[in-house]
DNA sequence: TATTGTTATACTCTATAACTATA
DNA sequence: TATAGTTATAGAGTATAACAATA
């Protein structure tokens, strides 16, 4: 069996491998800081889009409404966001960041910055710029930059490695 | 709230985003060809490391032995691999590729090649080389090239997006 | 006594479908 | 009648622990 063809990495594999690694490390860092990835995902969305209803948030991040409930419960229990009952439509809750939430956001950004620095520590400044430029180019062609959210509702789309190992 | 810091992409996010995208697209392509990612993962490992026991394979790809069983059952039912009972130790099965498996492997490689071409279609040849070089450099620092297998036993380590959306 | 392959159990996560209150 | 939020249910996927055969 001619190993070479089976093992050859290629950009697609490298990206998938590194992407999985990046996501995993980021989650580890969050965990150390007592943060859960899904909460963080929703929390950041609320932070950037304050005042949206749970329904709107659910649609935006591609999660069923039913899952939002527990997530919001948790974030509210932590005191990071609050459900603001709407006066005009008493069925809806507008989600807002609290003061405590601002602090949490700062912490999350710090964690992300650490993560970024760690992941790119092997590159010089110029190389990093190059890399970001090239990745951006790929992302652009893949219609990824604009819509941004990968979807990822499918937890089983795990970062399956595509190479011959070892 | 100063959006900019919250939204800023950064290499780590870009990589995670593209990595998720790459993995997802690859899985889609496999599905079209009637292939299941987990099967393919195990199958490719067997192809490159023929004759290993189920236990060895399980350890290598970081899955519990119990999960290997059903996977091997499926691949054997397809006629791609076979359980070769060991003469020296009658507890173990050595896993081998069949002739039919060779053909399947060819098909899988074709799918992967298509995927590679599609993902990198936005780049010129020189840029692609550059990208691979830079990614390789990052991967090297992250101790990823050598051990290769990302682990990924945790299906919940989904490629959680790390950005402010939209 | 330890180990390989296997099966069974118990648990987590998830989407889907009811349900209520408002509109 | 339709929609927002919520709760309940039922299914898939998983690891862990038991099990039988062999070492």
As a rounded value in angstroms, the CA-to-C1' distance for A81 and C17 is 29
Q: Is the pLDDT of residue B2 over 60?
A: no
Q: Is the pLDDT of residue A5 over 60?
A: no
Q: How far apart are CA A109 and CA A63, in angstroms?
A: 23
Percent of chain A having pLDDT more than 70?
82
* Cβ B66 to strand D below 7 Å: yes
| Closest residue, chain A, to B147 (C-alpha) | A166
The tens digit of pLDDT for each residue in A47-72 reads 999 999 999 999 999 999 999 999 99
Q: Are strands A81-85 and A93-97 parallel, antiparallel or unpaired?
A: antiparallel
Q: How confident is the model at residue B148 (pLDDT cuts 50, 70, 90)?
A: very low
Q: How confident is the model at residue A9 (pLDDT cuts 50, 70, 90)?
A: confident
Q: What pTM does this model have?
A: 0.83
Q: What is the DSSP code (8-state) at residue B93? A: E
Q: Average pLDDT of B28-43?
A: 91
Q: Is the pLDDT of residue B98 over 80?
A: yes
Average pLDDT, chain A: 85
Residue nearest to nucleotide C23 (CA to C1'): A89
Percent of chain B having pLDDT more than 90?
73
Tokens found for residue B36: 């299941």
CB contacts of B159 in chain A (<8 Å) are 19-20, 23, 150, 152, 157, 159
What DSSP string describes chain A? --HHHHH--HHHHHHHHHHHHHHHHHHHHHHHTT--HHHHHHHHHHHHSTT-BHHHHHHHHT--HHHHHHHHHHHHHTTSEEEEE-SS-TT-EEEEE-HHHHHHHHHHHHHHHHHHHHHTTTS-HHHHHHHHHHHHHHHHHTT-TTT-------TT------S---
As a rounded value in angstroms, the CA-to-C1' distance for B85 and D23 is 15
Residues paired with residue B84 on neighbouring β-strands, in sequence order: B94
The tens digit of pLDDT for each residue in A90-100 reads 999 999 999 99
* Cβ B88 to strand C below 7 Å: no
CB A49 within 8 A of CB A96: no
* Helix boundaries (H) for chain B: 3-7, 10-32, 37-48, 54-61, 65-78, 99-119, 125-141
Q: Helix or strand or coil: residue B82?
A: strand
Could you tell me which of B87, B89, B108, B100 has the C-alpha nearest to residue B45? B108
In sequence order, what are the residues at sequence separation of 6 or more whose Cβ sits closer than 8 angstroms to the Cβ of residue A39?
Answer: A71, A74, A75
The interface residues of chain B toward chain A in range 91-110, judged by CB-CB distance below 8 A, are: 97, 102, 105, 109
Sign of CA dihedral B73, B108, B50, A158: negative
For A94, phi then psi, to 5°, come to -90, 130
Nucleotides of strand D within 7 Å of the protein's CB atoms: 3-8, 13-18, 21-23
Query: How far does CA B67 lie from the centroid of its chain?
Result: 17
Number of inter-chain CB pairs under 8 A, A vs B: 294
pLDDT at site B99: 97
The tens digit of pLDDT for each residue in B42-97 reads 999 999 999 999 999 999 999 999 999 999 999 999 999 999 999 999 999 999 99
Q: How far apart are CA A64 and CA A3, in angstroms?
A: 44
* Cβ A87 to strand C below 7 Å: no
Q: Is B37 on the interface with A (CB under 8 A)?
A: yes
pLDDT at site A143: 81
As a dihedral over the C-alpha atoms of residue B112, residue A161, residue B46, residue B104, rounded to 10 degrees, the angle is: -20
Q: Are strands B93-97 and B81-85 parallel, antiparallel or unpaired?
A: antiparallel
Q: Is the pLDDT of residue A157 over 50?
A: no
Q: How far apart are CA A140 and CA B18, in angstroms?
A: 10
Cβ–Cβ below 8 Å for A45 and B165: yes
As a rounded value in angstroms, the CA-to-C1' distance for A37 and C13 is 15
């Amino acid at each position: 069996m001619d190993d070479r063809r089976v093992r050859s990495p290629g950009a697609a594999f490298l990206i998938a491998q590194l992407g999985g690694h990046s996501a995993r490390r980021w989650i580890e860092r969050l965990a150390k800081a007592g943060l859960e990835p899904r909460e963080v995902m929703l929390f950041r969305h609320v932070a950037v889009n304050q005042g949206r209803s749970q329904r709107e948030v659910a649609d935006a991040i591609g999660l069923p409404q039913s899952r939002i409930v527990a997530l919001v419960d948790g974030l509210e229990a932590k005191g990071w966001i609050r459900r603001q009952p709407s006066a005009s439509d008493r069925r809806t809750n507008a989600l807002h960041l609290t003061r405590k939430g601002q602090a949490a956001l700062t912490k999350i950004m710090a964690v992300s910055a650490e993560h970024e620095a760690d992941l790119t520590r092997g590159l010089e400044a110029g190389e990093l710029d190059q890399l970001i430029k090239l990745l951006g180019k790929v992302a652009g062609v893949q219609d990824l930059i604009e819509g941004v959210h990968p979807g990822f509702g499918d937890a089983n789309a795990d970062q399956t490695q595509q190479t011959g190992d070892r």
